[in-house]
Amino acid sequence: MPTAQDALSKSPEVLVVGLARTGDRDAFAELVRRRQSWIRTLMRRCCGDITLADDLAQQVFLQAWRDIAKLRQPKSYGTWLRRLAINVWRQHLRTRDALRDADEHDDSHYGVQHKAGIAMDLNHALAKLSDTARLCVVLSYHEGMSHGEIARFVKLPVGTVKSHIRRGSERLQQLLSAYQETQPEESI
Amino acid sequence: MNGDDLNPGLQAAFANARQDMAGEAFTTRVMTQTDKLKRRKIIRRLCVGALFALLAVPMQDIAMATTHVLVLSLIEIDDSLLAQILAPVNTVGSLLSFVLLGLRLFYKRIFS
- Looking at residue B95, its pLDDT comes to 93
Q: Name the nearest CA neighbour of A77 among A146, A17, A120.
A: A17
pLDDT digits (tens, 9 = 90+) for A163-174: 999 998 888 888
Preferred mutation among A5, A25, A36, A173 to probe B, highest tally of B CBs within 10 A: A36
- Looking at residue B10, its pLDDT comes to 84
Please indicate, yes or no, if residue B90 is contained in any of the structural domains: yes
pLDDT digits (tens, 9 = 90+) for A146-187: 999 899 888 889 999 999 999 988 888 888 887 666 654 444
How far is residue A17 from each of residues A76, A150, B48, B105, measured CA to CA in Å? 10, 25, 31, 54
Start-to-end CA distance of chain A, whole Å, equals 47
Query: Residue B111 belongs to what domain range?
Result: 73-112
Please indicate, yes or no, if residue B54 is contained in any of the structural domains: yes
Q: Residue A166 and residue A19: Cα distance in Å, rounded?
A: 42
Residues facing B73 on adjacent strands: B91
If asked whether residues B112 and B77 sit together in one domain, one would say: yes
Q: What is the 3-state secondary structure (H, E, C) of chain A?
A: CCCHHHHHHHCCHHHHHHHHHCCCHHHHHHHHHHHHHHHHHHHHHHHCCHHHHHHHHHHHHHHHHHHHHHCCCHHHHHHHHHHHHHHHHHHHHHHCCHHHHHHHCCHHHHHHHHHCCHHHHHHHHHHCCCHHHHHHHHHHHHCCCCHHHHHHHHCCCHHHHHHHHHHHHHHHHHHHHHHHHHCCCCCC
If asked whether residues B66 and B79 sit together in one domain, one would say: no
If asked whether residues B77 and B107 sit together in one domain, one would say: yes
Please indicate, yes or no, if residue B40 is contained in any of the structural domains: yes
B9 vs A contacts (CB less than 8 Å)? 173, 188
What is the total count of domains within chain B?
A: 2
pLDDT digits (tens, 9 = 90+) for A79-94: 999 999 999 998 898 8
Tell me whether residues B30 and A61 touch, CB distance under 8 A.
yes
Please tell me if residue A57 touches chain B, with a CB cutoff of 8 Å: yes
In this predicted structure, the answer to whether residue B3 has a pLDDT above a threshold of 70 is no
If asked whether residues B65 and B81 sit together in one domain, one would say: no
Please indicate, yes or no, if residue B13 is contained in any of the structural domains: no
Q: Name the nearest CA neighbour of A16 among A3, A30, A6, A5.
A: A30
If asked whether residues B82 and B106 sit together in one domain, one would say: yes
Domains (range + CATH), chain A: 7-96 (1.10.1740.10), 109-188 (1.10.10.10)
With DSSP H G I counted as helix, E B as strand and the rest as coil, what are the percentages for chain B, rounded to 5? 75, 0, 25
Q: Name the nearest CA neighbour of A188 among A121, A138, A143, A111.
A: A121
User: Band of the pLDDT at B111, cuts 50, 70, 90?
Assistant: confident
pLDDT digits (tens, 9 = 90+) for B20-78: 777 789 999 999 999 999 999 999 999 999 999 999 999 999 999 999 999 888 888 88
In this predicted structure, the answer to whether residue B81 has a pLDDT above a threshold of 80 is yes
**Predicted ipTM of the assembly:** 0.71
If asked whether residues B85 and B109 sit together in one domain, one would say: yes
- Looking at residue A50, its pLDDT comes to 85
In this predicted structure, the answer to whether residue A35 has a pLDDT above a threshold of 60 is yes
Q: Which pTM was predicted?
A: 0.68
Tell me whether residues A172 and B10 touch, CB distance under 8 A.
yes
Please indicate, yes or no, if residue B101 is contained in any of the structural domains: yes
Please indicate, yes or no, if residue B63 is contained in any of the structural domains: yes
Please indicate, yes or no, if residue B16 is contained in any of the structural domains: no
What integer is the mean pLDDT of A89-106? Answer: 67
- Looking at residue B14, its pLDDT comes to 85
What distance lies between CA B7 and its chain's CA centroid?
51
A66 vs B contacts (CB less than 8 Å)? 37
If asked whether residues B49 and B81 sit together in one domain, one would say: no
- Looking at residue A106, its pLDDT comes to 46
